[in-house]
Structure 1
Amino acid sequence: MHQPPLPLTRDLVLVGGGHTHALVLRKWGMDPLPGARLTLIDPTPVTAYSGMLPGFVAGHYARTELDIDLVRLARFAGARLILGPVTGIDPARRLIEVPGRPPIAYDVCSLDVGITSAIPGLPGFSDHAVPAKPLGPFADRWTGFLEDEGPARVGVIGGGVAGCELAMAMAHALRQRGRSPEITVFDSAQALQGLGARTERGLRGALKRNEVTLREHVVIERVSEAGLHLADGTLSPADFIVGAAGAKPHDWVAAMGLEHEDGFLSVSARLQSSDPAIFAAGDCAHLAHAPRPKAGVFAVRAAPVLFSNLRAALGGGTWRRFEPQGDYLKLISLGRQSALGARFGLFAEGDWVWRWKDRIDRRFMERLSTLPAMTPPPLPRHHAAGLAEARGSKPMCGGCGAKVGRATLARALATLPAPARSDVTALPGDDAALLQMDGVRQVLTTDHLRALTLDPVLMTRIAAHHALGDIHAMGARPQAATLNLTLPRLSDTLSERMLEEIVTAATEVLRGAGAEIVGGHSSIGDELTVGFSLTGLLERAPITLSGAQPGDVLLLTKPIGSGTLLAAEMQGAASGHDVAACWELMCQDQAAAAACLRDARAMTDVTGFGLIGHARNMAEASGCGLVLSLSAIPVMAGARALAEAGHRSTLYPQNREAAPELPETAAHALLFDPQTAGGLLAALPAEAAAETLDALQRAGYPAARIGRVTDRAGSIEVTP
């Protein structure tokens, strides 16, 4: 007897993708708690491992070697990922605020959000300097400066270990480029406080060997294009200024009203705050029972304890105490591939210490990047013929990758009789029907998608934009919609939370497009699916597939590749940056694009059948041929590399049947890639194409001219 999935009854929300939470996600993927829904909230799809930052600055590591891919970790853990900054938490209502979306409810919450920088409050800092964290903006600015050929005067604000490590790393990198750096570290008090005497002497000696100047008890009043203006009235010239001081907790942490120490959330040995439902670890937490300096080693060691205690708070684990060690191993980079190590009064320095640090760092990153393969369960010993082939060798895709194939659908629809009503017109090949009532022309369409993300808000936005594509492709104005849902098995509380998120997101997108939700239907199933039935009003004859003429130019408003990216993401193979960019493109509204394309003779939205499939529909309906220029077709970031690695959507084999004569290259494979919420493909008169393309690009669409219409009826040709 088929056993349905167990219902979800409790919400665990991890706020921040810090080192502790990253390890918790990995452990959760290996041993999830049945009945608990896990959510991760972070502003970025990829976070950086701070321990390797000096090595990256010095040139010992590539930028990507620092990346902890939260998209991949969330998929492995079965967690929904919400990209956005948390701006507040209301413990009384157990709600988390993230701008641009409904509040996120929780039963148990954990914080690992690190710290922020107070330096941008220094006059001129935000215009003429960059903080060392977050890594992304700093890495971009540093890479650009490193590639310059001008003066190499660098000012580092902050004389702690982090600032001195950065200064030595920058000195090494600049010398490797043949530049003569002048690097100064500034501190308003005594630098390198809190270290043992021998460690401090070792670091001061390393700074001298790297020709880094250390200026202590210096007050900086402001920063300008010329450099750092000091309180004594002097100017310290600088071409690149970085802030590595002024670390402070996020303001909203203290605003929760819980016990804290100077804004750092106070936690017990259980890593539990004064609110039993809220936990914290990493730099944002204050260990009230055993205060310690902020150090990554404590964040890493806290992970197993936090994992166990979060499960206990949800009703399914054993409580543990976190007892941080009294001293910890300090490994400090010294610019070149040399490091300093200190613990328990012992001290060592040399190249072998750097190799030791490098092994520790790489081993940590390997734990978070080399995740165990999650293989499907074996088939029963006795099963019906064809079951293995029908199941396939990988998970079924979501979105349009889960649609029925073009040929299969066409054969089934061939049995559908023509409309018997005179006021209903089924347009061959188009996804919407034309209704006529007392001189009013209306189009009707429906779309339903299997979830491609566990975030119901993101999934709803994608599904809504996807459904609106049929309305926009016909030149209609969205009017009304019904919302059709299948919810996974949830407790009544979690069902209410999910429905509220979905309805809010759907209303936002559809009302923004000019439509209103007027009802819908919901049911319970094994997984989330979201669909919409939509009507739109026409002020003129609809734009259909059948109007293209020889000589017309083909424009495409969005790049292709979402099916490949999403298929690879399900297998943990796609970059989090690329997946997040794909999500953003799928949520790009096409209303303004449709307005730019009002002079199109034929138009369709590129979705499940891929660019070739929808192009063939246009060619067949118009009695024309199409020529597509392979090099002109825009492709989503990362999609081509994934296609070259062999990643394909589960719908790809059926889509491939639309043009079996084309070669099997990565570039050609993307032509058959099923798109979700894809762009509009339009045929326009040649004389209008350039102006229309310019208007699309000015409106913010990554549109391109990708081909032309010929008089070779029904043919599809692909040129280099």
Structure 2
Amino acid sequence: MNPIPIVKELVFAGGGHTHALVLRKWAMKPVPGVRVTVINPGATAPYSGMLPGHLAGHYAREDLDIDLVRLARFAGARLLIDRAVAIDAGAKVVRLASGRAVPYDIMSLDVGITSEMPSLPGFAERGIAAKPLGKFADIWAATCAGEGAITIAVIGGGVAGCEVAMAAVHRMRVLGREVSVSVIDRGEVLSSVVPSARKTLLAALADHDVRLVEGTAIASVEDAAVVLEDGRRIASDLTIGTAGATPQPWVAESGLPCKDGFLEVDEYLRSPADPTIYGAGDCVHLVHDPRPKAGVYAVRAAPVLAHNIRADLLGLQRKAFHPQKDFLKLVSLGGQVALAEKSGFALSGPVMWKLKNRIDQKFMDKFRHLPDMPVPTAPRGAAKGVAAEMAGPALCGGCGAKLASGALSGVLAQAHGASRDDVSAVAGDDAAVLHMGGARQVISTDHLRGFALDPALVAKAAAVHALGDIWAMGAAPQAALAQVILPRMAARLQGKWLDEVMQAAGEIFAAEGVAIVGGHSSGGTELTVGFTVTGLLQRDPITLEGAKPGDALVLTKPIGTGVVLAAEMQTKAHGEDVLACWKAMTRPSGEVARALAPLAHAMTDVTGFGLAGHLGNICAASSVGADIVLDAVPLLAGAHPLAAQGIRSSLWAQNRASILCEVPDTPLADLMFDPQTAGGLLAAMPAKQADAIPGAIRIGEITDRPGLRFS
């Protein structure tokens, strides 16, 4: 079956509420032929409606986070952990803080707002904005972990500022700490709230002993005080900014029509100046029906935005967005009590908190409990056995897609080719030494099936992965040839995709002094990136054969990439754990390899056959055994709990069957057979020097007893 060609690029800049809901709808009914890209500074997007409850201690931090890694995988989208900083509408690219330029045919902005106050002297250095939430939540957690009395000043007397103030008082009281909170406003606190609700809110603030400072502007923020223009000083150990909604400055600098820095959009949520650019949430101004900044409008806009983007891609009729004039407003009052207001009528009490909590939890459940996607079925008339093969676990990417050692060993043993005196194959290594006069050169090759939907990420990991054998043999990396297979796509996109791959790989190779000298590209069914690399030897190569009894075994990277990548494919991994895994995979081993090379008796890189498989190769080649202390083996975040859930890479079972050894029946022991992608180096070296190598962790020792033992 021919794959559907990619013909359009759809980019979502920002992971706000609207985009999160649109991505969920896209997952249920995607438009074939479109690559979707999501750009966000972090792995999660916080749901602001639950912020006061989090500050008050009613919700844990993770309770209000939408996991964008899981959501992007569910939607079949690539996630770029980066920040949009500019739009070049003429070139149709969005520029990122990292320097990347991401092309688009259709783009949507949902980048939110900030409570930063750059014009207020001292705030940037000594204050903290309530939005964006991530940094604020981290500082609040550190504040709650402290001891003793604390004074807090909240700048901004709107509903958000008063919610923050009451939540802070409640939390500190629960923690048994003395607290004093002031709310500062240049006008009147809660001036925009209807009278019935304002009366209740003012009473709640009084019950929390919140001091109201009204009718004066702020001159500056100091280390322990907020200085007012009338000369008064308001004591403050923690100054929180909630005043107003400040747009991201780069949006106004894009050249697109803006209102006070907010992107103007029409009734279809499109920029009036550019029909390929959409926007939603707090970062936009609705030209046809201006509305205040409120999450309810972001949520209600999602179905319209999803429909209109789909309509543009398919050539259908768009829908207009008509925001409601009034809506139910639910305000937290510190404890598990809330105020509900609509059409001028207000009620408060625990029942209103339960209502607010139910609405908030229902919203978050849309992302916590993503539905299972149907397993592909065999086409009618398929050969016997096709259905069973398709019903099995999906093939992993990275080294989880390798053939097992058992499938390779017999074939490779017979595939010698010609015999040459100037070529020395290295037993057990995927490399050879080439002799040219007095010079010796190592050559190796490797490639990866795409483990993620971002070609640049795959390319970086593939470059690190390919260099593994060069580093392991003690050679200095020299040159690289690329082999890139791109999925089927429109010809106009091929150069852009290939540029993404080569730019990313070039960052890794340039840092290691490697010249990219050419390569080969072709089209296929899916992304595959590989490199043939060479390295220069100034010494005898380090192989698998030199390990000696008494040697210490050291490992230079944590293991667990196989299980984390498998879980990410199944939308079962935590986003932060996936990011940590990607970071480890794209971290070069050159520095630690150069430290190990003069000392290592035997060394290999840990890749597809897992730690146990590659250690077994060292032991077999060196005629020794090994003892491994399981608790000493470093693990990637999330790897152990995922293994405990029974999640395995598709190569795990074959790796386990290929090693004949006694292993405890535990998730930790199972990870010894987890296939690694761009894994670390495993070296046998003198025990006295094993603790002197930065980045190398001792995990066991070489013995004179054959076999592997795990304890």
In the TM superposition, what are the counterparts of 1:371-390 in structure 2 within 5 Å?
Answer: 371-379=370-378, 384-390=383-389
- In the TM superposition, what is the alpha-carbon distance from 1:149 to its structure 2 partner? 2.1
Report the CA distance between 1:418 and its aligned residue: 7.4
Query: Which stretch has the larger CA shift, 499-508 or 666-675?
Result: 499-508
Q: Give distance in 2, aligned partners of 1:352 and 1:317.
A: 45
Give the match for residue 707 of structure 1.
700
Q: CA deviation at 1:62?
A: 1.5
Structure 1 residue identity aligned to 2:411: A
**Long gaps (5+) in structure 2:** none
Q: Does the Cα contact within 8 Å between 2:465 and 2:678 map onto a contact in 1?
A: yes
Moved more, 130-139 or 260-269: 130-139
Does residue 1:102 correspond to 2:100, yes or no?
yes
Per-residue deviation, 1:194: 2.0
State the match for 1:521 in structure 2. 520
Superposed, 1:664-675 pairs within 5 Å as 664-675=665-676
Secondary structure of the residue aligned to 2:481 is strand
Q: State the 1:608 CA deviation.
A: 0.5
Question: Which residue number in structure 1 is paired with residue 708 of structure 2?
Answer: 716
Determine if contact 1:25/1:77 at 8 Å carries over to the other structure.
yes
User: Which segment drifts farther, 278-287 or 340-349?
Assistant: 340-349
CA shift in 2, pair 1:664/1:385, >3 Å: farther
Q: How far, CA to CA, are the matches of 1:679 and 1:416 in structure 2?
A: 29
Indicate the residue corresponding to 2:504 in structure 1: 505
> CA contact under 8 A between 1:308 and 1:318: conserved in structure 2?
no
Alpha-carbon distance in 1 for matches of 2:172, 2:641: 32
Structure 1 partner of 2:632: 632
The whole-number CA distance in structure 2 between the counterparts of 1:254 and 1:225 is 32
Shift of the alpha carbon at 1:400?
A: 0.4
Judge which range, 35-44 or 239-248, deviates more.
239-248
Q: Aligned partners of 2:40 and 2:615: how far apart in 1?
A: 39
- Secondary structure, counterpart of 1:276 in structure 2: strand
What corresponds to 2:472 in structure 1? Answer: 473
Aligned length: 708
1:66 aligned onto 2:56: no
Displacement after TM superposition at 1:230 (Å): 2.6
Any conservation in 2 of the 1:101–1:505 contact (CA below 8 Å)? no
* Cα shift at 1:163: 1.1
Q: Which amino acid letter does the alignment assign opposite residue 519 of structure 1?
A: G
| 2:68 is aligned with 1:75 | no
Letter in 2 for 1:536: G
Change (3 A) 1:380 1:457: closer
CA drift of 1:28 comes to 0.3
- 1:78-477 correspondence runs (5 A): 78-273=76-271, 274-379=273-378, 384-391=383-390, 393-417=392-416, 420-477=419-476
Describe the shift of the 1:635–1:316 C-alpha distance in structure 2 as closer, same or farther (beyond 3 A): farther
What corresponds to 1:606 in structure 2? 606
Q: Distance in 2 between matches of 1:104 and 1:511?
A: 22
How far apart in 2 are the matches of 1:506 and 1:48? 32
Equivalent position of 2:615 in the other structure:
615
User: Do the aligned partners of residues 197 and 659 (structure 1) sit closer, same or farther apart at CA in structure 2, a change above 3 Å counting?
Assistant: farther
Larger mean Cα displacement after TM superposition, 659-668 or 601-610? 659-668
Structure 2: distance between partners of 1:214 and 1:317: 54
- Deviation string 1:69-104 (CA, Å, 9 cap, x unpaired) is 111111111111111011111001111111335311
Shift of residue 627, structure 1, vs aligned partner: 1.2
**Where in structure 2 are the equivalents of 1:651-670 lying within 5 Å?**
651-657=651-657, 658-659=659-660, 661-670=662-671
Please state if 1:641 is matched with 2:634: no
- 1:38 equivalent to 2:36? Answer yes
Q: 1:32 to 1:418 in 2, by over 3 A?
A: closer
Instruction: Identify the range of structure 1 (223-232 vs 198-207) with the bigger mean alpha-carbon deviation.
Output: 223-232
Equivalent residues of 1:340, 1:354 under 8 A apart: yes
User: Comparing 289-298 with 362-371, which one deviates more in the overlay?
Assistant: 362-371
| 8 Å Cα contact 1:305/1:320 also seen in 2 | yes
Confirm or deny: 8 A CA contact 1:39 1:81 kept in the other structure: yes
Offset at 1:482? Answer: 1.1
Instruction: Name the counterpart of 1:18.
Output: 16
Q: Give 1:527 deviation, angstroms.
A: 0.8
Q: Which runs of 5+ in 1 are unaligned?
A: 697-702
Q: Give the C-alpha shift of residue 252 in structure 1.
A: 1.0
- Measured after TM superposition, the shift of residue 577 of structure 1 is 0.8
Q: Percent identical across equivalent pairs?
A: 51
Please tell me the residue identity of whatever aligns with 1:430: D
Q: Which amino acid aligns with 1:451?
A: G
Q: What SS does structure 2 have at the residue aligned with 1:445?
A: strand
| Correspondences of 1:476-625 after superposition (within 5 Å) | 476-598=475-597, 599-625=599-625
- 2:27 is aligned with what amino acid? G
The CA deviation at 1:412 is 2.1
State the secondary structure of the residue aligned to 1:364. Answer: helix
How much has 1:218 moved relative to structure 2?
Answer: 3.0
Please state whether the residue corresponding to 1:119 is helix, strand or coil. coil
Report deviation, 1:620: 1.1
Code of the residue aligned with 1:39 in structure 2: it is T
User: Quick check: 233-242 or 336-345, which moved more?
Assistant: 233-242
- Per-residue deviation, 1:375: 2.6
Specify the code of the residue in structure 2 equivalent to 1:379.
A
Deviations 1:365-406 (A, max 9, x none): 111221111131233576545445544532110000000012
Q: Do 1:471 and 1:478's aligned partners in 2 also have CA atoms closer than 8 Å?
A: yes
Whole-angstrom distance in 2 between the partners of 1:616 and 1:4: 41
The 2-side partners of 1:547 and 1:216 are apart by 77
| Secondary structure class of the residue paired with 1:683 | strand
Which amino acid counterpart does residue 670 of structure 1 have in structure 2?
L
Query: Would the aligned equivalents of 1:449 and 1:463 in 2 still touch at CA under 8 Å?
Result: yes
Q: What amino acid is the match of 2:609?
A: F
**Structure 1: distance between partners of 2:385 and 2:322:** 56
8 Å Cα contact 1:612-1:659 kept in structure 2: no
**Shift, 1:257, TM fit:** 0.6
Deviations 1:3-58 (A, max 9, x none): 21211111110000000000000000001012211111111111110000111111
AA aligned opposite 2:691: A
Q: 223-232 or 668-677: which moved more? A: 223-232
Deviation digits for residues 108-147 of structure 1, max 9, x if unmatched?
1000000123325533334333222232222222122212
C-alpha displacement of 1:217 = 2.3
| TM-score (structure 1 length as normaliser) | 0.96
Decide which moves more: 683-692 or 252-261.
Answer: 683-692
CA distance in 2, matches of 1:630, 1:79: 37
Read off the aligned partner of 2:64 and give its amino acid letter: L
Structure 2 Cα separation of the partners of residues 418 and 5 of structure 1: 35
Distance 1:392 1:475, change over 3 A: farther
TM-score, length-scaled by structure 2: 0.97
* Alpha-carbon shift at residue 250 of structure 1 (Å): 1.0
Aligned-partner SS, 2:467 = helix
Partner letter of residue 76 of structure 1? Answer: F
User: What is the SS of the residue equivalent to 2:310?
Assistant: helix
**Does the CA-based 8 Å contact 2:116-2:124 persist in structure 1?**
no
Deviation of the 1:690 alpha carbon: 1.8
Distance in 1, matches of 2:703 and 2:123, equals: 58
Alpha-carbon distance in structure 2 between the residues aligned to 1:34 and 1:689? 53
Take 1:413 and 1:388, find their aligned partners in 2: how far apart are those partners? 31
Determine the C-alpha separation between the residues in 1 that align with 2:604 and 2:226. Answer: 57
RMSD value over aligned CA atoms? Answer: 1.6
Structure 1 residue ranges, 4+ long, deviating more than 6 angstroms after superposition: none
1 CA distance for matches of 2:581 and 2:122?
36
Letter in 2 for 1:213: R
AA aligned to 2:128 is: V
